[in-house]
A and B are shown apart, each in its own frame.
Chain A
């Protein structure tokens, strides 16, 4: 086991979740489950994160945000879809404004179903993701950096962030 699997930092994004799964994700950080035991830190910064935890399905408003967060994350990275909405769209699957699960937009590595997903299964999903993260690191042989992509997403980030200041 390398350092990567011992220190996974994750970023949690609420796509269009009802907050049920988000509460369960945050419950993992509480003394009851304490994921920091495994070195897991819930960071708010995609540039520091290794694991992208998404709850809720993709809709037209958050499409760009999910893509942006994913693009800003540094390789190696994995995506964990938490909750049935993130896996497949769930009960909102047929809604006019929902495209479906997160895998409609970005590659998902681990699916954690449930409504809401239980903290135990979320932790299990993230630990499974660590194995995939390790595999990705082995296959990562000096990937040339997509500078065009990164700068584009970065500028976009500035614009959207600048507006909220």
Chain B
């Protein structure tokens, strides 16, 4: 019962938190650049505006894919916050991302195509590390269930520090932050990299923005798992890490996709596998 309530709370509250995080993000970014910046409520106004615009789509299928993107993201988050299986959460998350790429492919446009291809490359780049995160959680807590991981007294981040670092690395890709904002960007508005959202407009684009809010909350939730034994520390860590992401975003130029894929895989291989191997040998070969 409590699971269901938590899932419903996620569905209702996550967009509000996600939008506020996006608003704070823009405000902090502006201050880092010596500007005043928009109101913290700006993301709400942006999406409200998009819903006020005329419904114009290049291809009706686009709407279907955008709705699927949203629905599967909400499903993923609800499953996560209800304490479901972390592996299922990760696969549903990937499915959701694939729908976004399909939506971009649905429009016959070179810009959209480039964006969709880059989106798929990003998925390819971060996916190994995301799966290693689930494996690491299992090694640390002997369970794939979020409800068990959150209830554990094991300081997860100290058991799998390598996997934590690897996850923070791909978090930059997942949050679409520079230097890995290769498929779409919240800063470089005049470039081809508006990519994956190029052909979405009006209410359909609003759905994608709302989905981003859900995704942000879900990702911060996964960060929470690393510090699950101490909720206060977890909240502090999430705030510090998010500010760090904003700092990285504002101080790094975008890299090429080749570097994004190679470095994400190398990080997953080095910190992830070494971490797991060390745990395996320290435990005397008994997982």
Contacts and interface: CB of A to CB of B under 8 A. Distances in A.
User: For the complex, would chain A's binding face be called helix, strand, loop or mixed by DSSP majority?
Assistant: loop
A76 interface: yes
Nearest to B27: A36
Contact of A162 (B44, B53, B58, B110): B110
A4 B190 contact: no
A44 interface: yes
B109 A36 contact: no
Contacts of A41: 189
Interface size class of A (residues with CB under 8 A): 20 to 34
A3 B49 contact: yes
B9 interface: no
24 contacts: A2-B52, A3-B44, A6-B42, A6-B45, A6-B49, A7-B42, A7-B45, A8-B49, A31-B34, A36-B30, A36-B35, A37-B36, A37-B38, A38-B38, A39-B38, A44-B189, A48-B201, A50-B53, A74-B53, A74-B201, A140-B54, A154-B58, A157-B109, A161-B111
Interface of A: 2-4, 6-8, 31, 34, 36-39, 41-45, 47-48, 50, 74-76, 137, 140, 143, 145, 150, 154, 157-158, 161-162, 165
Interface of B: 26, 30, 33-39, 42, 44-46, 48-49, 51-56, 58, 108-111, 189-191, 194, 197-202, 205
Given A39-B39, A161-B109, 19 more contacts: A2-B48, A2-B49, A3-B48, A3-B49, A7-B42, A7-B45, A36-B30, A37-B37, A39-B42, A42-B189, A42-B190, A44-B189, A47-B56, A47-B199, A47-B201, A75-B53, A145-B56, A154-B58, A158-B110
Closest 10 CB pairs of A and B: A3-B48, A44-B190, A47-B201, A75-B54, A3-B49, A31-B34, A6-B45, A7-B49, A34-B35, A43-B189
